[in-house]
Amino acid sequence: MSKKRRWILSIIVLFSVFSVLYLKISNDQFDINSVDQTTKLSNIRIVSMITKGNEDFKHISYDSGSSGSIFYKTGNTYYALTAYHVVPENKSNSYIVLTENDKSMREYMNEGGQYMGVDQYYAQFPRLNIVAVDKENDIAIVSFVSSQDLTLLPFASVGPQKGERCVTISNPDGRHGVVSSGKITTNKPQRIHYSNREKDVMAIKHSAHISYGSSGSALLNEDFEIIGVNIGGQKATLFNFELSYFDRGNAVPLEKVVNLVKKSGIINGENH
């Protein structure tokens, strides 16, 4: 086969592959515009405050934030789900919460806000409390106090099913309130390995797009009911090239999440 024919054949193959991928993604989608601002108010940004130094000199840095989803409220205290690796328990880290109504300092400055110190700016936001954790399944329940009127997400009555459409609302790559949709792609939880975690995690896979900062967001069904918690993702590859648009998500399934909520005693009043 001549070099020219091989080149033409390669182009045809690549075009076919990308066409199939595009059609698959198109078929996985539903109208994300149906996710209104009220539903987005269930999404929170969890910003890590990382303290370095000693008693004589301390420096606090702030990351761009990860995700969490509110599911319960009592008084002005909200309870949210997130991933455990988002809120590891150590002396160097503490956490603050930005709701969908709030802006990071970068967003505030980009919109013409008056400069103030970073510590001063973030001091206005509520601190996060860690209520319950399940390290083995990489999930956690956190709480914070706010006078804002935020949205509570309900739990689904059944877990995710293969082929079911799903939705995520998360904070990838420093953005917030980003909605993506896809489908559940596995029949049952599969063992997922992450190099930065002690143990493998059993998780379901889905095709909704997530990225850095999406960890901790809820996986929702079409009725915006919780069916899992996102703990990470994997990039799709084609001929050893990463296709960032085709990221795939991994989520701890509903059963494990509900078990942690029950164990915490939040809803039946033990932790009120």
What ranges do the domains of the chain cover? 29-37+154-261, 39-151
More confident residue, 28 or 61: 61
Domain topology for 29-37+154-261: Thrombin, subunit H (2.40.10)
Strand-pair partners of 219: 168, 228
For the domain 39-151, what is the CATH code?
2.40.10.10
Q: Give the model's confidence band at 247: pLDDT under 50 very low, under 70 low, under 90 confident, else very high.
A: low
Asked whether residue 74 carries a pLDDT value surpassing 80, the answer given is yes
136: alpha, beta or left? (left if phi > 0; alpha if psi -120 to 50) = alpha
- What is the model's pLDDT at position 52? 83
Taking a C-beta distance cutoff of 8 angstroms, is the pair 147, 125 a contact?
Answer: no
pLDDT tens digits, residue range 207-226?
A: 998 898 999 999 999 999 99
Tell me the mean pLDDT in the region 96-124.
Answer: 94
- What is the model's pLDDT at position 73? 97
- What is the model's pLDDT at position 199? 74
At residue 134, the 3 state secondary structure works out as strand
Query: Do the first three CATH levels of 29-37+154-261 and 39-151 match, i.e. the same topology?
Result: yes
CA-CA distance, 18 to 252, in Å (whole number)?
30
Asked whether residue 9 carries a pLDDT value surpassing 70, the answer given is no
More confident residue, 90 or 256: 256
Asked whether residue 34 carries a pLDDT value surpassing 80, the answer given is no
